[in-house]
């Protein structure tokens, strides 16, 4: 469940920075979306057939989120 929390926090940060809204509205929408992301990661981790597929299903989206965050930060400088 720590992976789901980490994924939800990561994507809340990414969405909060990328959404073209006022900062307060962007953080509100990103926080609400993080609850959905947390639930989806929990469903995925229990639905995966093997530990390897569960780990890849969490690591690949996490890597994409981190990459998106770094690219956004590099572009905004």
Looking at the structure of the chain, the number of domains it has is 1
Q: Return the half-sphere exposure (C-beta side, CA atoms, 13 A cut-off) of residue 15.
A: 20
Q: Where in the sequence is the domain holding 55, given as residue range(s)?
A: 2-76
Mean pLDDT value of segment 37-46: 92
Check residue 64 and give its pLDDT: 95
Query: SS in 3 state form for the chain?
Result: CHHHHHHHHHHHHHHHHHCCCCHHHHHHHHHHHHHHHHHHHHHHHHHCCCHHHHHHHHHHHHHHHHHHHHHHHHHHC
pTM assigned to the model: 0.84
Which of 25, 26, 10, 2 lies closest to 68 in space, CA to CA? 10
Check residue 25 and give its pLDDT: 96
Task: Grade residue 3 by pLDDT with cuts at 50, 70 and 90.
Answer: confident
Check residue 76 and give its pLDDT: 83
């Amino acid at each position: 469940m720590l992976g789901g929390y980490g994924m939800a926090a990561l994507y809340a940060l990414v969405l909060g920075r990328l959404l073209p809204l006022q900062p307060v509205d962007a953080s509100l929408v990103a926080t609400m979306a993080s609850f959905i992301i947390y639930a989806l990661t929990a469903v995925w981790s229990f639905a995966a057939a093997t530990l390897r597929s569960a780990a890849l299903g969490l690591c690949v989206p996490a890597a994409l989120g981190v990459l998106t965050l770094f690219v956004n930060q590099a572009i905004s400088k």
